[in-house]
Chain A
């Protein structure tokens, strides 16, 4: 084995060991956090708000309560109302604070069971913009590198790149190609954020316990689309093959949910909804008026939502 190979193995092993230990330590069990979550679920599930001192009454120290509340707020389990008070955010609400408040205002402070954004054009935009642009960038960088090292497909590509570099310096070719690759990544990430920002706060879908389904029907809408509880005739989950395959690999599962409305010929289709099965079940239980499961499984749902701060197992 060459010294270079041994150096490479040592670098990789040290990098892995250091960060593995860091991850292991960071994601260890936090009994205080779990206790705080227990107190909140057992005592304040149906409260409008609770404060830091409420947790202190149940045996947590001020510092421990403060840290736990901060972590739970970051994990999206709690929402800060003001300096002192917090409120439980339903685990299936994925709206920004601003949109959550807007949804509560428009639904007359209803109990919001599910809230997220539909992304009508997401998969196609992603495939076309994100992966298309990055693949083009990667191909160009590879061709320029091969053109320089092997003269394939033509030395003209690398010659052209070298000509635009300061001092036509060949030594700058590799770092410049790496820079192009990096900027391609940044551009793709930037576009990803633009698509998300464009979709977010535009097409909210909110399901309230009493108000039924409220949704935005245009870019400048304020949840004017309404399906009241009694109007829900049927609800269906519709996952295309592409969505099903993408769900195995993407961080957030997406799918369509179709709601048949009494008195309307055409059903309403919510496209690319995050966690569509859960939306289906929530709409079904709103339709049937059976919401006891919320209380029964509140802790499990919250632990799932807080998975970034409290990993399972």
Chain B
């Protein structure tokens, strides 16, 4: 009798919990249009520039996509990667725009921007691409997280240390180590289950 059940299971594995593909695409389009309308209204009301609207919309679509689209074919995965690239590029563009002129930028500010970029980049990667690159932790993920953590630690040192917030070196190291460990554990690939 279980024979009667299993074709159903196999045929509809995972899909049984999700919206149908057409509904997923439809819902995504509706929510994207709603977001565009809201951002446009906000831009008119508060006088936001067109590039800000483009950046906000790109990030919104990148955040929305994996929540709604649960299909896993080559095209949908490639779009997921594409949205990661687009969101990351828009954030880098926005940061560079705010950092100009770089010569007048304090080292502490640069350190904070780098920390923000690392965190947002890794979180977007978690959100959009990770399961297709690192399903489980391996040497590549450890190497990547190790390098990012070293940069994160150095940036925290610049911000919190004697040249920045003026904390004692030992206290700076302590706080930086704790926050860096938190960062490393948070960005290491996690199995979804």
Beyond A8-B93, A189-B123, A189-B187, whether A301 also contacts B164 by CB under 8 A is: no
Residues of the A chain whose Cβ atoms lie less than 8 Å from the Cβ of B131: 251, 308
Between B50, B66, B97, the greatest number of chain A beta carbons within 10 A of the residue's beta carbon is seen for B50
A293 nearest CB neighbor, chain B only: B6
Residues of the B chain whose Cβ atoms lie less than 8 Å from the Cβ of A28: 74
Contact present for A296 and B98 (CB under 8 Å) = no
Between B9, B49, B105, the greatest number of chain A beta carbons within 10 A of the residue's beta carbon is seen for B9
Q: Which of A100-124 contact B (CB under 8 A)?
A: 116-117
Q: Mostly helix, strand, loop or mixed at chain B's interface?
A: helix
Beyond A4-B51, A5-B49, A247-B18, whether A175 also contacts B116 by CB under 8 A is: yes
Contact present for B10 and A300 (CB under 8 Å) = yes
Q: Mostly helix, strand, loop or mixed at chain A's interface?
A: helix
Q: Is A193 an interface residue (CB 8 A)?
A: yes
Between B83, B89, B92, the greatest number of chain A beta carbons within 10 A of the residue's beta carbon is seen for B89
A285 nearest CB neighbor, chain B only: B2
In the complex, per-residue mask of B76-89: 1 if CB is within 8 Å of any chain A CB, else 0: 01111111111111
Contact present for A172 and B112 (CB under 8 Å) = yes
Contact present for B182 and A186 (CB under 8 Å) = yes
- Taking the closest CB of chain B, its distance from the CB of A275, in whole angstroms, is 8
Which one of A2, A278, A288, A292 lies within 8 Å of B49 (CB-CB)?
A2
Contact present for A8 and B85 (CB under 8 Å) = no
Beyond A176-B112, A185-B120, whether A12 also contacts B89 by CB under 8 A is: yes
The 15 listed contacts between A and B (C-beta, < 8 Å) are: A2-B51, A4-B50, A7-B51, A12-B54, A15-B90, A19-B83, A23-B132, A74-B138, A172-B109, A178-B112, A185-B123, A186-B119, A281-B5, A308-B131, A313-B74
Number of residue pairs across A and B with beta carbons under 8 Å? 231
- Distance in angstroms between the alpha carbons of A196 and B84 in the assembled complex: 25
B89 nearest CB neighbor, chain A only: A15
Contact present for A19 and B116 (CB under 8 Å) = no
Q: Which of B1-24 contact A (CB under 8 A)?
A: 1-3, 5-10, 13-14, 16-19
- Distance in angstroms between the alpha carbons of A4 and B50 in the assembled complex: 8
B97 nearest CB neighbor, chain A only: A4
Between A13, A186, A307, the greatest number of chain B beta carbons within 10 A of the residue's beta carbon is seen for A186
- Measured as residues with beta carbon below 8 angstroms from the partner, the interface class of chain B is 35 or more
Contact present for B106 and A187 (CB under 8 Å) = no
Residues of the B chain whose Cβ atoms lie less than 8 Å from the Cβ of A179: 112, 115-116, 159
- Taking the closest CB of chain B, its distance from the CB of A11, in whole angstroms, is 4
- Distance in angstroms between the alpha carbons of A4 and B55 in the assembled complex: 11
Residues of the B chain whose Cβ atoms lie less than 8 Å from the Cβ of A278: 9, 13
B133 nearest CB neighbor, chain A only: A26
- Distance in angstroms between the alpha carbons of A1 and B180 in the assembled complex: 42
Contact present for A175 and B113 (CB under 8 Å) = yes
Residues of the A chain whose Cβ atoms lie less than 8 Å from the Cβ of B5: 281, 284-285, 293
Between A23, A94, A304, A308, the greatest number of chain B beta carbons within 10 A of the residue's beta carbon is seen for A23
In the complex, per-residue mask of B105-128: 1 if CB is within 8 Å of any chain A CB, else 0: 110111011011011100100100
Beyond A11-B89, A12-B54, A185-B123, whether A247 also contacts B17 by CB under 8 A is: yes
Which one of B3, B9, B193 lies within 8 Å of A292 (CB-CB)?
B3
Residues of the B chain whose Cβ atoms lie less than 8 Å from the Cβ of A117: 193
Beyond contacts A22-B81, A74-B138: 20 other A-B pairs, Cβ-Cβ < 8 A, are A4-B50, A12-B90, A16-B83, A19-B82, A20-B81, A20-B85, A23-B82, A26-B132, A76-B136, A117-B193, A174-B98, A182-B116, A186-B187, A192-B190, A278-B13, A288-B2, A293-B3, A293-B6, A293-B7, A304-B14
CB within 8 Å of B: which residues of A? Answer: 1-2, 4-5, 7-9, 11-24, 26-28, 74-76, 94, 116-117, 165-166, 169, 171-172, 174-176, 178-179, 181-183, 185-187, 189-190, 192-193, 196, 247-249, 251-253, 274-275, 277-278, 281, 284-285, 288, 290-293, 296-297, 300-301, 304, 307-309, 311-313
